[in-house]
Amino acid sequence: MSDNSLLSLQMTNDDIGVLTLDDPQKSVNILSRSFLVDFEACLDQLEDRTDVAGLVIRSTKPGNFVAGANLQEFVADIDQPADKVVALARRGQQLFGRLAQCPFVTVAAIDGLCVGGGSEMAIWCDRRIMAGGEKTRFGFPEVKLGLFPGWGGTARTPRIVGLGNAVELITSGDPIDAAAALAMGLISHVLDTSQDGQVSSADALLSAAVALIRDEQKSRQFLRDRQQWAAPIAISETELGFLGATASAYIQGQTKGHYPAPLAALEVLLGGAGLDVESACQLEAEGFAQLFGSPVNRALLNVFFLSDHNKKEHGPVGTRPRDIRSATVLGAGIMGQGIAAANVKRCVTVALGDIASEAVARGVQGIIKEASYNKTTGGPDIERALQYTPLVNGTMSDSELAASDIVIEAIYENVDAKRALYARLEPLLSEDAILCSNTSTIPITELANGLQNPERFCGLHFFNPVRRMPLVEVIRGARTSDDTIATAIAYAKAIGKSPIVVGDGPGFLVNRVLLPYMNEALLLLEEGASIKDVDRAATRFGMPMGPITLYDTVGLDIAMHAGSVMQQAFPNRVVPAKILPAMVAADRLGKKNGRGFFDYFSDSKGRQKARPSDAAEKIIQQSAKADPNANIDFADRLFLPMLLEATRLIEDGIVADVRDVDLGLIYGIGFPPFHGGLFHWADAIGASQIVEKVAKHESLGARYEPTDFLLEHAKSGRTFYERQS
């Protein structure tokens, strides 16, 4: 093994091998081809000895056991024929399967994240133990990449934890904590390493693993389990049929048919139940090969790489981001509360201000409620609330509001109101503090007019709801400094967000690309299309909701304001729909006042529900044509304007990389990940075919005029992603 190997093998107590994982080159342990070679060599070395009682596999990297396989190496085989992929999977199964055949006890001592290939390595061991704590998680996330485990995970797991538990664990892709792993029999016990500060977590786990090996040597239970776990699963046809039917219905409800991997995993799990483990592994390998390299697999891998690239973004070269320990949020509405709560959850102290003390008080309450929310209980957690409350300062004092390292303005979209607020607070800021606006449409350069230090001002646009939407647009004004951009990026990451740097301009990245899609939906209604047809086309494409439903969610008055900004900026191609101002004039604003394109009511459990609205339909009909076009391709009409605007965005230099557009839309509006992003979707179709589709709508005017960027790719045959390579 090389000096840079992930693995090191030592003997303890003379008869127990300790295989330690700790990649010196990375912050996490990743399984690579070189790891597999070294792992095989370690097993060869141990199996050649006659004095080995057990093997412990552990990691000494804090918070991480194994974070999966090296996907860059993984995709190198993506174009291999199916039989080659089957052979690759079988080699992995056979290598890890040796752990269940060694002439000694094998134990995985897991502290931190254990997912993907790491979980499969652990599942082939005779026993597993886990450290307690929030960072320790075990899971099979492969379905989130359009795959399922291919190194024995679907064959071995149900034999240890039961078929029902394995179905849930593998088809969901969600990791579980140590308590859940213990409850389902995945691990032997949980080790609480928080009690003794004198002993490291890794050392404590090692001691526990050695003790477990000694117990197994005496009881020989591991040998009986090996025999049982190699055999078919004892389950009746009735039970198998019921599990298959209920799990299939649930998966189809969750995936809407867009993600084939969970159902494929279910089929392999059910099909392998009646086979011995070796035959189940063969079935797994064959099923894995059918998914590997599929369009959805390629799209989801692209999303993974987009996210990974974003994590490595640190801002302009040579910059020094400032340390942000305190934040101020100006505006105690829903957005302000969400931004403040994101800070509090990362233990950043927050000052909250608004124009009225009552608003501030409500805002503080909302922040604590949001920050202390516990997913497990479905409500606020008292302990968290007590922990977070001291971090929030609701205040009307300008000096207290200006005392933070970063000040984020999140008031309503009005240039004069924002500038007046800046004029009041900027003179009170420290010389290192940065000022940001959460504006969604107003150019940052325009807002910076009149500032004393425009170089320390930028846009920091969060998306609603802040708790769920990972994207933050970091917007560079004409005079924003590189250090300010670097600080904003570092800050956004520190509070758990994914920042994308964009240039200044109306709508920035996400809203500029979203608004043509939204406006086209209204123009379709005016052409006689129904709300149902328009929304259904979008959700069938994979959007989380239709554009008409989205109007009601955002608020029709807010949407009208955003649309007017875009119309002023691009009057030649933005065709204003008559429906929107008519709806606003009728006080139909959406969910917030209970009436928009739909009427809203509360059900017996107090949940807001929607139903068709006769009043809204009447307003639509006043603007609609009598004879709708029966040949409308709704998906093209909705998504081609979005794509064309994205190409203009690149041409205008708002963003330099199509990857930023793709990740921004996935993280900002929920563009379907199984398409891999807007430009990835376009690449799957081909630029020349996109030009042909656009040409069919040329009679609709400038908004369907192909851009030079699009025509260039259609002529050259190059993909949009190739341009960025």
Catalytic residues: 461
Cβ 567 vs Cβ 703: under 8 Å: no
Residue 250 CA to residue 673 CA, distance in Å, equals 20
Cβ 577 vs Cβ 526: under 8 Å: yes
**Token reading at 111:** 């502290």
Backbone angles phi, psi at 649, to 5 degrees: -60, -45
Residue 409, helix vs strand vs coil: strand
209 Rama sector, left if φ>0, alpha if ψ -120 to 50, beta otherwise: alpha
Nearest Cα residue to 574 out of 564, 583, 584, 582:
564
Nearest Cα residue to 547 out of 596, 485, 479, 605:
596
Locate tokens 């930028």: which residue?
A: 458
Q: What is the 3-state secondary structure (H, E, C) of 460-525?
A: EEECCCCCCCCEEEEEECCCCCHHHHHHHHHHHHHCCCEEEEEECCCCCCHHHHHHHHHHHHHHHH
Angle, helices 634-651/708-716, rounded to nearest 10 degrees? 100
Neighbours of 1 (CB within 10 A): 15
Residue 110, helix vs strand vs coil: strand
Cis peptide before 465 (omega within 30 of 0): yes
Residue 378, helix vs strand vs coil: coil
* Single-letter residue type at 378: G
